[in-house]
Amino acid sequence: MTESAPEQLIALRNSIDNIDAALIHMLAERFRCTQQVGRLKAEHQLPASDPAREERQIKRLRQLAEESNLDPAFAEKWFNFVVAEVIHHHEQIAKDAQ
C-alpha cells in the first residue's frame, strides 16, 4: 500500500531534520578545527586569511558540488559565508593574544 501525501511529507521532513542535525554537528566540528588554526596563526603571527587556500577550496568545492548535482554557485556562497565567520574568529583570537 502506498503512503499518503501527508505520510510522505512526514517521512521526508524527518529525513530533512536528521540531515540538518548532522550538518550542525559537522559545522561545529569544522569550527573546532578552525579555532585551533586560528590559535596557531596567532601564535606565529600569521594572517587571519589565506586567499590562495580559499581560492583552491572554492575550486574544489565547486567541483564537488557539480559532481553532487548541487549548484556550484550555492556551494561557493556557503563557503564564503563560513570563511567570513572563520576569519572573524581568527582576527578575534589574534587580538585576544596580544
- Take residue 4 and report the three cell numbers written for it: 499518503
Task: Identify the band that residue 51 occupies on the pLDDT scale cut at 50, 70 and 90.
Answer: very high
Pair 9, 67: CB distance under 8 Å: no
Range of the domain at 60: 5-97
pTM across the whole model: 0.86
CATH number at residue 80: 1.20.59.10
pLDDT one-digit tens code per residue, 8-48: 999 999 999 999 999 999 999 999 999 999 999 999 999 99
Cα-based distances in Å from 64 to 9, 11, 52, 53, 59: 29, 27, 19, 16, 9
Q: What DSSP line would sit under 13-57, residue for residue?
A: HHHHHHHHHHHHHHHHHHHHHHHHHHHHHHHTT--S--HHHHHHH
Grid cell of 23 as nine digits: 550538518
User: What mean pLDDT is predicted for residues 50-68?
Assistant: 98
Q: What domain count does the chain have?
A: 1
